[in-house]
Every structure is written in C-alpha cells, then in structure tokens.
Amino acid sequence: MLTTTRFAPSPTGYLHLGHAYAALLAWRQARESGGRFVLRLEDIDPSRCRPEYAEAILEDLAWLGLDWDGPVRVQSEHLDEYRAALDGLAARGLVYPCFCTRAIIRREVAQAAEAHDPDGAPLYPGTCRHLPESARRARTRAGEPYALRLDMARALASVSGPLTCIEAGGRRFCRPERFGDVVLARKQTPSSYHLCVTHDDAVQGITLVTRGMDLQPATDLHRLLQSLMRWPEPAYAHHRLVTNPAGKRLSKRDGAVSLRELRALGYSPAGVRALALPD
C-alpha cells in the first residue's frame, strides 16, 4: 500500500524548528517510500487562527524545500462535512447536548480533579447525559449555549471487539473510556479537533499519522471515532518533541525562534533542515 503522510499545523503563529522537524519527518517518510505527503491547515478555532499565519506556513514550507501532493485542505472550508458526521452520531444516539459551563463542571468534579480528558479538561461527571428530551429541547430553544458530548459508554457498546491501534510497528490496546464523555463540538468551534482530525485523515487517505508525543493519548479516542464512523485505520508514529536548552518544548508562547527569523538571520533552507532534522 502506498504510504500517505501529512503535516497538519494550526495557523496560530509562525512555524518554528519543532514544526520543521515534524513536517520534514512526515515528508521524508512519504518520499523515501515513493508515497504521498499532504498538507492540512487545522484552523477551526477562529479565536486562535489567523489567515496571515496560514499563508506564512505555506511559504515557509516551500522555502524549506518541501513539496506536497494535491490541494491543501483548509478545515474552516469544510464545516458542513463535520456537521454531517456529528448529525450521523446524533441520529445514532451517541452524542448529547451539554449545557454545563466550565465553572459548573469544575465545582462538580472538585474531588476527582486528577483525571483529565485529552484536552486537559477535568473528566466530565455526566450531568447532562440523562436530561429528559423535553428539557433539552426547552433549553436549546431558549438559546442556552451547549456543547455536544460523546456518550462514551454507548459509543463503546456500539463498536465490536477490543479497540486497538498500530503504533511504531506493533499493535496496542486503546482505552478511550478513561476520557469520559468528551466534547465533539462547541458553540465557538462547531467541531472539535478530534472529530475534524479523524474525519480529514480519512478524507485525505492518510495511512501513517506522524505527530508529536503530546497527542499520543488522543489516539485512543481517535481510534474510537474511526471505528464508530467506519473510517479506515491509519498507523501512528508519535515523535519526540523538540525542546529548548532548558528541556522545555518549543512553543510560540515561550518565544521559540521562528523559521522566518532564522531566514532573516541568513540561514539557508539546507541549514534550517539540518538544524531541524539532522541525518
């Protein structure tokens, strides 16, 4: 089977060496196997993403010497597709509206605050899971904002057999139940990262997902969504995170040097490639 890898940045800032490492790794894996390398801009959160960063990302990747296959997929242009996937889950009774604010959830889970979902939020105690249909309808009609949550127990009951994923050449068991009823959509973000990423990996025919170790736990949830939606199963390779000399993961917030700053300092594309991914 032809290997298809992808690089899927969120346009929330300029690319730095951590991104260059991830992009080069995925690109090299595709090219060395005669496969495909595709790009995706994960820009579903309008409060954090900016078009000028999206443009800069493509320019920086081209400057680095990376080429990609097919059109760039821009998530904000496909909201209707994510909505259709959510509607499908709703029709099967696998999602429900949750009207709880963050403050309510925090208050309710104060005792069990150690457990977290893959987005770092406290595990949802299930408050809205059993709301009667009439209450749901009344609150929605009154304009109360809500999130859509996956009913984890029902979702697990509707997939057959144990859930596993292929990672680093082996197969391991997945345990999405530890995340509870995760959010799949919010008012501000009509579809969560988890739904969009699995939807798009399927649409773009990704066979090998290479991404940072920080996203490894989320893979358990992604395998569940793939199984529920009958999307194909890609293999996963979670790579190390590039850190600064103090051992902290590079991030825009902590002032990581961007690729364009390196470029302005006189670095060549080959020089930056060697810094990001030494042979």
**Which residues of the shown chain bind ligand GLU in the complex (CB under 6 A)?**
8-10, 42, 197, 211, 215
> Backbone phi, then psi, for 122, in 5-degree steps?
-60, 150
Least distance (Å) between residue 202 CB and ligand GLU: 13
| SS3 per residue for 139-202 | HHHCCCCCEEEECHHHHHHCCCCCCEEEECCEEEECCHHHHCCCEEECCCCCCCHHHHHHHHHH
Tokens of 248: 């902290």
Burial of residue 141 (number of CB atoms within 10 Å: 0-12, 13-18, 19+): exposed
Q: Which amino acid type is present at position 231?
A: W
Q: Find all residues with CB under 8 Å of 126, minimum gap 6, and list them.
A: 180, 181
Q: What is the largest CA-CA distance in the chain?
A: 64
Q: Are 232 and 51 in contact (CB under 8 A)?
A: no
Cβ-based nearer residue to ligand GLU, 96 or 179? 179
Cβ-based nearer residue to ligand GLU, 19 or 149? 19
Cβ-based nearer residue to ligand GLU, 56 or 128? 56
Least distance (Å) between residue 248 CB and ligand GLU: 16
Nearest of 31, 60, 142, 133 to residue 90 by alpha carbon? 133
Cβ-based nearer residue to ligand GLU, 54 or 98? 54
Least distance (Å) between residue 106 CB and ligand GLU: 25
Cβ-based nearer residue to ligand GLU, 10 or 204? 10
Least distance (Å) between residue 143 CB and ligand GLU: 31
Least distance (Å) between residue 219 CB and ligand GLU: 9
Cβ-based nearer residue to ligand GLU, 156 or 237? 237
Q: Are 89 and 187 in contact (CB under 8 A)?
A: no
Least distance (Å) between residue 190 CB and ligand GLU: 16
Beta bridge partners of 39: 7
List the Cα angle 57/59/63 in 5-degree steps: 115
Cβ-based nearer residue to ligand GLU, 42 or 151? 42
Least distance (Å) between residue 215 CB and ligand GLU: 5
